[in-house]
Amino acid sequence: MAKFKKDGKREVPAISTASLPDIVFMLLFFFMAATTMREVTLMVQNSMPEAEQTVKLEKKSLVSSIYVGRPTAQYQGSYGTQPKIQLNDYFANLQDINLFIQSERESRNEEDRNNLINNLKIDKDVTMGIVTDIKQELRKANSLRINYGARKKL
């Protein structure tokens, strides 16, 4: 017959958790590297319309964004409430778009230059007047690939 020993020496040793922080740090670094913080601070209201047929923009390096919307509350005092165009970190006029496209092209490498996609991130309350003006400017700048920013309707 087996004897039950009760001398306490046969306890399973506690699993060392010393490497747990390492694992978690690894996860942390992954997330820090994989995600990007928004590179421009939005100065305009930007709630995009919804559409069913949206496609994702795969190559991030080709995308340059143009924001359009009403200035947010903190800028309304100095810029009014009419829809404005935001390029990078400043409010722009229609004439600035050409220059903006030039500089965006300059910052890409040779083979990407002609494949630039202009991502038009336009607030859904904006009227078409300003949108068509922008499209016209883009045509003049010969940057013809555009993406009407829209969220996927679920």
For binding to other proteins (CB under 8 A), which residues are involved? 17-18, 20-21, 24-25, 27-28, 31-32, 34-38, 48-49, 51-57, 60, 63, 65, 117, 119-129, 131-132, 135-136, 138-140, 142, 144-152
Sequence letter at residue 88: N
Cβ proximity to other proteins: between 99 and 144 the closer is: 144
**Distance from chain centroid for Cα 28:** 21
Q: How far is the CB of 50 from other proteins (least distance, A)?
A: 8
Closest CA to 91 of 100, 37, 115, 153: 100
Cβ proximity to other proteins: between 112 and 125 the closer is: 125
Cβ proximity to other proteins: between 54 and 72 the closer is: 54
**Phi and psi based region of residue 113 (left: phi greater than 0; alpha: psi -120 to 50; beta: remaining):** alpha
Residue keyed to tokens 């100065």: 43
